């Protein structure tokens, strides 16, 4: 089940709740019991791709894994 982030408009508390996707927009009370809440837009970041190798098998992005690695040469 995904975790959604909410903000209470009464006490300005941010909180998270694990809910089914179908219930993501359903009303929810904050931990203090206030019913005036809004779901926040959470950000997701992903860096690189596991399949980003070129014909040589070395990564095509990022400049290598670091010192001593075959792809840094």
Q: What is the Cα–Cα distance from 43 to 47, expressed in whole angstroms?
A: 13
Higher pLDDT, 2 or 58: 2
Long-range (24+ apart) CB contacts under 8 A made by 29-35 are 30/6, 32/8, 34/8, 34/9, 34/10
Where do the structural domains in the chain lie, given as residue ranges? 3-39
For residue 33, what pLDDT is reported? 97
Q: What is the Cα–Cα distance from 50 to 61, expressed in whole angstroms?
A: 11
Please say if the pLDDT value at position 4 is more than 70. Answer: yes
Kindly report, residue by residue over 7-46, the tens digit of the pLDDT. 999 999 999 999 999 998 899 999 999 999 999 987 776 6
């Amino acid at each position: 089940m995904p975790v959604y982030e909410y903000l209470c408009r009464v006490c300005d508390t941010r909180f998270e709740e694990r809910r089914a996707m179908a219930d993501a927009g359903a009303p929810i009370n904050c931990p203090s019991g206030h019913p005036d809440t809004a779901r926040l837009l959470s950000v997701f970041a992903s860096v690189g791709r596991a399949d980003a190798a070129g014909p040589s098998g070395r990564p095509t992005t990022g400049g290598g894994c670091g010192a001593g690695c075959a792809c840094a040469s």
